Amino acid sequence: MIVALLILHGLLAVALLGAITHQAISVWVPMRGAAGSFVGRMRAVPAKSYVNAIIVLYALTALLGGIIYPTYRLSVRIVLEQMQLYVPNGAFELKEHFVALGLGVLPAYWYFWREPQAAEHARTRAVLTALLAFIVWWGFLVGHVLNNIRGFDL
């Protein structure tokens, strides 16, 4: 059951990573002209269309992470401590706090992205998106490394 939830957690994280990355790229380096290339089309996506998906995916991914967290606490973290793997352990501690802080940002993120979008809030929207993108990338990479830590020869 935990393995199934872990895989589902990972799949939701991939979807969230894709959504927030597309939105962040389209906000920070928007496409001005016609989008002909792969990268150009990524920059040209309508950023607003990702907002609800990002909020739902973030909440669901965090919820699933919270459900499987006790197993990590009992089965993985104790081993990391015994093996004195301080950096992966600390990276996960940061992940837990960053994700929690991201949850607190979601209402503001939703508000500043909703219609009608005020021009004076463009920077706030962009930075909130970047902040969430960083948290999601951090969480994804740390989770990925810890999930496969035996293969990292640490």
Partner 1 sequence: MITARSQPTFVVTFAVTYAIFYVVSVEYNLALFTYHPALEEFGFLVEKAKDGPAMYWYGWMATSAIAAFVLAALASWVPDGWAKRVWPGWSWVAPLSVMFVFVYILRRFFLR
Write down how long the chain is: 154
Q: Does 124 bind partner 1 (CB under 8 A)?
A: yes
CB of 34 to partner 1, least distance (A): 32
Q: Which of 20, 128, 136, 146 binds partner 1 (CB under 8 A)?
A: 128
Q: Quick check: 47 and 23 in contact, CB under 8 A? A: yes
Nearer to partner 1, 101 or 141 (CB): 101
Tell me the two tokens of residue 68: 């499987």
CB of 93 to partner 1, least distance (A): 5
Q: Does 2 bind partner 1 (CB under 8 A)?
A: no
Q: Give the x/- contact pattern for partner 1 in 88-117, rule: CB under 8 A.
A: -xxx-xx-xxx-xxxxxx-xx-xxx-----
CA distance linking residue 98 with residue 107, whole number of Å: 16
